[in-house]
Amino acid sequence: MNFSFLLNKKCEYFKQSIMSWHLRDNKRSMPWKGIKDVYKIWLSEIILQQTRVEQGMAYYEKFIENFPTIQDLAKAQEKSVIKLWEGLGYYNRCRNLHHTAKYIVQTYNGHFPDTYEGLLALKGVGPYTAAAIASFGYNIPKPVIDGNVIRVLSRYFGISTPVDSSDGKKTLSALAENCLDLNEPGTYNQAIMDFGATICKPAGAKCTDCILNTHCKAYKSKRVDALPLISKKIVKKKRWFIIMIISCRQHYAIQMRQSGDVWAGLHSFPIKEQPSRKNWLEFLKNPEFINDEASYSEHEYCQQLTHQTIYARVLIKPIKKRSLFPEKAEWIHQRNLSAFAFPRLIRDVIIKEHLLSE
């Protein structure tokens, strides 16, 4: 009995077990599950890039309510789309979403390409998203490989190669292809992702209740928490912001963040960035920005992003003439601030604490 035969047999058992679990025990409910409307599938997949299902669901429902068809999304103003996306982060996804909606309407008369290659060519659509749309929307036999799938396959097959390495990616890709249900690829893809999200979880995996535990190499070798292996560790950059709430007769100075940096395309109060925590703390004593009415918040704010951590203190500074400070600012009445899209740190924390409480 050769190795290839044994691997195929193991893959077949894995596939049948995952499908059986899905049909019998999978209770994970999502509004886009099982639908064949490719627009809604695409929308959900773009929202779920870098976003937990629990957070993304509310955004999906808001988008469907405001833009029930791709034509509605295509003809919307970009600022309206970004405002609806506010708080979800990774705003390039939003801009790509709007760009692709217009492209689909103009080029394909509102119909998505019905091939994996055609979907992959769309802006903002990578291999995972193209495979998801192709299998869910068109039943095209393409395996999805996301974090959940990587974790389940790594543990079950005991992959000892780092999954972010070239060899690791090749191994996972081959296993994903071998395990795919060619008759029901969409159902299988949903099943393995849900299995990873609810049973084979990153921490606290439900191994004793798992239907695969008798054949799972990680479980048998007590390596569940050690897999998948990752070779590259993300080193987060630390950044130190002074966020200046500058007001003049109930109008506030805001600026649009420029491309190429965090929060690009969103609005913010003017920011003075400092190179280190030491400089940041020294700046708080800067007489240039302090007068009898100005004050700093006592609270230190923090926002964790994928590749960086933002630390912020707030300077509240009333001025008598708008021309005094700052340059390139829009002066917006307090009651109209909600019409602009702000980063979550500013919208949910700073505006709420320092302006809505007034």
Alpha-carbon span 5 to 216, nearest angstrom: 18
Using DSSP's 3-state secondary structure scheme, residue 174 falls into: helix
- Phi/psi of residue 259, nearest 5 degrees: -65, 155
Contact between 265 and 259 under an 8 Å Cβ cutoff? The reply is: yes
- Phi/psi of residue 277, nearest 5 degrees: -65, -35
Helices 38-47 and 127-138, axial angle in degrees (round to 10): 150
Q: Are residues 65 and 109 in the same domain?
A: yes
Q: Are residues 108 and 141 in the same domain?
A: yes
Q: Are residues 268 and 199 in the same domain?
A: no
- CATH at 220: 1.10.340.30
Helices 38-47 and 91-108, axial angle in degrees (round to 10): 160
Domain that holds residue 190: 3-226
- Sign for the pseudo-dihedral over CA of 20, 194, 196, 186: positive
Q: Which pTM value belongs to this model?
A: 0.80
Answer yes or no: 293 catalytic.
no
Q: Are residues 211 and 265 in the same domain?
A: no
Q: Are residues 222 and 260 in the same domain?
A: no
Q: Are residues 73 and 185 in the same domain?
A: yes
Alpha helices in 158-271 (DSSP H): 166-179, 185-198, 217-220
CA 5 to chain centre: 39
Q: Are residues 187 and 114 in the same domain?
A: yes
- CATH at 252: 3.90.79.10
Q: Is residue 218 part of a domain?
A: yes
Q: Are residues 264 and 221 in the same domain?
A: no
CA 7 to chain centre: 34
Q: Is residue 315 part of a domain?
A: yes
Q: Is residue 157 part of a domain?
A: yes
* End-of-domain residue from the set 180, 195, 226: 226
Q: Is residue 191 part of a domain?
A: yes
Q: Is residue 232 part of a domain?
A: no
User: In the chain, how many domains are there?
Assistant: 2
Q: Are residues 54 and 203 in the same domain?
A: yes
Dihedral angle over CA of 143, 149, 152, 156, nearest 10: 30
Q: Are residues 59 and 173 in the same domain?
A: yes
Q: Given 45, 61, 86, 358, which residue is catalytic?
A: 45
Q: Are residues 22 and 171 in the same domain?
A: yes
Q: Are residues 212 and 255 in the same domain?
A: no
Q: What is the predicted pLDDT for the residue at 292? A: 57
Q: Is residue 151 part of a domain?
A: yes
From first to last of the 358 residues of the chain, give the pLDDT tens digit. 444 555 678 999 999 999 999 999 998 888 888 889 999 999 999 999 888 888 899 999 999 999 999 999 999 998 899 989 988 887 889 999 999 999 999 999 999 999 999 999 999 999 999 999 999 999 999 999 999 999 999 999 999 999 999 999 999 999 999 999 999 999 999 999 999 999 999 999 999 989 999 999 999 999 999 999 998 777 788 999 988 888 888 888 988 887 778 888 788 898 888 999 888 888 777 666 655 566 677 788 888 887 889 999 888 888 887 766 666 788 888 888 888 888 888 887 667 666 654 4
The DSSP-derived string for 63-104 is HHHH-SSHHHHHTS-HHHHHHHHTTS--HHHHHHHHHHHHHH
